[in-house]
Structure 1
Amino acid sequence: MCGRFDQSQTARHYANVFGWTDAVFDSESGPTTNAAPGTYRPVMHLQDGERRIDDVFWSYRAKWAEGKVPITINARLDKLANRYWASLVKRGRGIVPAEGWYEWTGEKGHKQPWHIHRKDHGTLYLLALANFGSFEENRAEAGFVLVTDDASGGMLDIHDRRPVVLQAEDAALWMDPTLTPQQAIELARQAAVPSEAFEWHKVSKAVNRAGADGPDITQPIED
């Protein structure tokens, strides 16, 4: 599960860090430490050989699935080979660059948020699937989801699922259209950055409110 993430740098910053200095931008989204579903966020992808960073709606449901499948924000790695995700795995692979993401522990009404990030504080390259086309009736037709997998190690104490994160070179390969869907899925399974590369700390419950923003909400708080 990943219900919020920290994307506190500009799209151009992420492009430069990734080496995409020639990227084409269609992104007006500003940095945020609390990106929430139902907002437009910059997603990196390749289109007709062109490196692009486009604002995409975070939430997805295929047009044909309205009334059959709920709108979702994540896609399970172990389900990517099924019919629902097949077209996106083939033509809609993207990367969401970020500084971290949030998970919650505790009982409903008393949930404690945690900020999860790399120990070296490097950029995270979160695997995404998106319909980079247009929509006719509902914005979620042209949205994106983050790919998640089972958590492992100490991260299980925070949540049993986590977004799949790749190193930069593997993230570039994930977006390569010459990679078959089967190869892309196997890459996600085999090359995911391990739990040992991450650390986490408690943050203010202000992050629970969609729209709350600013660097203060990412700062660690005392137990």
Structure 2
Amino acid sequence: MCGRFDQNDIARRYVAAFGWADAAYRSEAAPTYNAAPGTYRPVIHMEDGRLAVDDLHWGYRAAWAAEKLPVCVNARLEKLTNNYWGKLLKTGRAVVPANGWYEWTGEKGKRQPWHIHRKDREPIFMLALANFGPFKEHKAESGFVLVTADAEGGMVDVHDRRPVVLNALDAATWLDPDLSKEQAEMLARQMALGPEMFEWYRVSPEVNYAGRDGAHLVEPMPEPLEERPASLLPDDDA
């Protein structure tokens, strides 16, 4: 799953890395090394045929589900076509740019965070579903979730699920409003970057605390003498 991510650059540089010359910028969120659920983060999407960047609440719950379902921060790829996510898959596809994301291993009380990023250190483009526009009762009515899938290959020793990350060209296709729901789901399944594109290392347990920030959070910690743990401590996956 993905419960925190590293989004330490400004929106304009992410858009440049995305390969677009311009966008409608309405983002005022400051860069952070420790983006947490419940905060507002820059999200890339298409609006009236133009790329746009808006700050959205990380967490979504449909207005009608207020008394029935919790606020979600992730949406499983396997469930994107169901009744709950299907509408957003059609009209609310978005991309969250970042430098990496965090996962955890270890027992409760001894959670060890890991920073996962591309080997070439290029920005990552995580697939998202979002509901844009004003909310009526709760800010999660106009929020976003990250799309997650089963981890593969060597990544499984750090976590059992991962955000779906595409390269810039495929991420732009994901945003294409002419792409059908079925085509979008297939794109996410077939073009997600594999574990060979990523690397990861242990970072400071300060990441465990929402509100802690700074470049020191992404500095690698020395490898322990013992073999690194293979089990992932489950986190609240929405």
- Give the TM interval when normalised to the shorter protein: over 0.9
Q: Find the aligned partners of 2:22 and 2:112 in 1 and give their Cα distance.
A: 41
Map of 1:219 onto structure 2 = 219
Amino acid in the other structure paired with 2:19:
G
Amino acid in the other structure paired with 1:156:
V
Map of 1:144 onto structure 2 = 144
Q: Find the aligned partners of 1:45 and 1:104 in 2 and give their Cα distance.
A: 29
> How far off is 1:127 after superposition?
0.2
Matches within 5 A, 1:68-147: 68-147=68-147
> How far off is 1:211 after superposition?
0.7
Q: Report the identity percentage.
A: 61
Map of 1:166 onto structure 2 = 166
Query: Which runs of at least 4 in structure 1 moved beyond 6 Å after TM superposition?
Result: none
Map of 2:193 onto structure 1 = 193
> How far off is 1:196 after superposition?
1.1
Length-normalised TM-score, structure 1 = 0.99
Map of 2:230 onto structure 1 = none
Q: In structure 1, the residue corresponding to 2:84 is in which secondary structure?
A: helix
Matches within 5 A, 1:13-32: 13-32=13-32
Q: Find the aligned partners of 2:13 and 2:212 in 1 and give their Cα distance.
A: 22
Deviations 1:108-133 (A, max 9, x none): 11010000000111110000000012
Q: Find the aligned partners of 1:102 and 1:33 in 2 and give their Cα distance.
A: 10
Q: In structure 2, the residue corresponding to 1:171 is in which secondary structure?
A: helix
> How far off is 1:20 after superposition?
2.5
Map of 1:210 onto structure 2 = 210
Q: Does 1:34 align with 2:47?
A: no
Deviations 1:70-90 (A, max 9, x none): 111000000001000011000
Length-normalised TM-score, structure 2 = 0.93
Give the unaligned 5+ runs of structure 1: none
Q: Find the aligned partners of 1:150 and 1:54 in 2 and give their Cα distance.
A: 28
> How far off is 1:21 after superposition?
2.6
> How far off is 1:67 after superposition?
1.1
Q: Find the aligned partners of 1:29 and 1:175 in 2 and give their Cα distance.
A: 22
Q: In structure 1, the residue corresponding to 2:169 is in which secondary structure?
A: helix
Q: Find the aligned partners of 1:56 and 1:16 in 2 and give their Cα distance.
A: 20
Map of 1:183 onto structure 2 = 183
Amino acid in the other structure paired with 1:51:
L
Q: CA RMSD in A?
A: 0.7
